[in-house]
Amino acid sequence: MKTSRSTFCFLPLLAVVFFFPAASFAENLSDPSRERSIQGKREDIISRALDAAMREQAAEPAPPRPELTPSPARGWSEDEAAEYFPAIELKTHETEFGTELYRYSYKEPVFNLEIDGLQYGVFGVYTYRPPRGDALHSDVINMYKIDARFAAGPVDYSSNGSGQLDNEDNYAFELRGIAGYEHFVNDRFLLSGYGGFGFRYLNNDSGGRQSTTGAYGYERVSNYFYLPVGVETLYQITPRWKIAADLEWDIFLYGEQTSYLSDVTSGYPDLENDQDRGYGIRGSTRIIKEGEQVNLFFEPFFRYWRIHDSEVTRAVGNTYVVSGLEPDNNTTEYGVKFGLQY
């Protein structure tokens, strides 16, 4: 059993008060002057014992306070949080690059058609934040960004009417330029809005091959032109970790779908269909580990396109005349990115 030092100080005091005076009273009970003298000595002993105990207790060091560790859930005040969480630092020039892996799925519901497969790609992003006084800096725009990506991989085709065809060649390229405004809500929370222009190219090639039902494949090329509009957040969660989130709406401007039917036979013409109705959505969450010179990040993401029926077009070939449209379709891409940022 652990006993504090102040407890030991009071044990002799109790003995003095209850035992020593009791013996003195028994011997001198009939002497009033002796009794008054003993009473005075007793009060003096009690007073000195109390003083000694209080001095000893005051001299004891206070127990150490537990050291606080940074925690966003602690509910600190702004001053306490600022001591442990540094403000977000934005660079004038920032570059990032990395690799991405995603599941690609293209569907035409009217034909129960699906093209599906894993795609492997690379990407790069350059961001410029002009300083105040620069001609490109204003109260509306203080950030410019250009990004590009390329991905490829085999895909499998299936439909009710044409059967199945595996390992078709498939690749995509995308280039975007955006401008926006970055606003510090506080030192550790950044909110950004942006808009820009984007171009997406996709090539799916099964030319010269036959499906399980004997249907001949051909090369298809898709071009999308669109306006990306989005919002992005960045939050410093610890001195070395940040988290970012992005949500974007893609305004579809124009699309062109080219079907190289001449791959089937030279008697067929190639068919071009214009698309003008559709939209896109994309979003991501990024976890960033800050380093001395280079940051590492991991980013789950999704991209979605919905394009409505195109106009019907007519083309004349060497032997055949073909009329057709590009039917209502949707594309879903979801996966992860791994990259470096500096």
Contacts of 32 (CB under 8 A, 6+ apart): none
Contacts of 29 (CB under 8 A, 6+ apart): 35
Burial of 43 (0-12, 13-18, 19+ CB in 10 A): exposed
Say what the pLDDT of residue 75 is: 59
Task: Please compute the mean of the pLDDT values over residues 225-245 and round it to a whole number.
Answer: 96
Distances 76 to 32, 69, 106, 249 between C-alpha atoms, Å: 67, 11, 48, 36
Say what the pLDDT of residue 60 is: 59
**Whole-structure pTM value:** 0.75
Encode pLDDT of 95-128 as tens digits: 999 999 999 999 999 999 999 999 999 999 999 9
157 or 15: whose pLDDT is higher?
157
Encode pLDDT of 289-303 as tens digits: 999 999 999 999 999
DSSP-assigned states of every residue in 266-286: TTSPPEEEEE--EEEEEEEEE
Say what the pLDDT of residue 223 is: 98
pLDDT-derived band of residue 55, with 50, 70 and 90 as boundaries? confident
Lowest model confidence (mean pLDDT) among 63-67, 129-133, 312-316:
63-67
| Tokens coding 144 | 């410019």
Contacts of 309 (CB under 8 A, 6+ apart): 277, 325, 326, 327, 328
**Total number of residues shown for the chain:** 342
| Tokens coding 94 | 């920032």
Return left, alpha or beta for 131; rule: phi > 0 is left, psi -120 to 50 is alpha, else beta: beta
Residue 195: φ, ψ to 5° = -155, 165
pLDDT-derived band of residue 77, with 50, 70 and 90 as boundaries? low
Burial of 307 (0-12, 13-18, 19+ CB in 10 A): buried
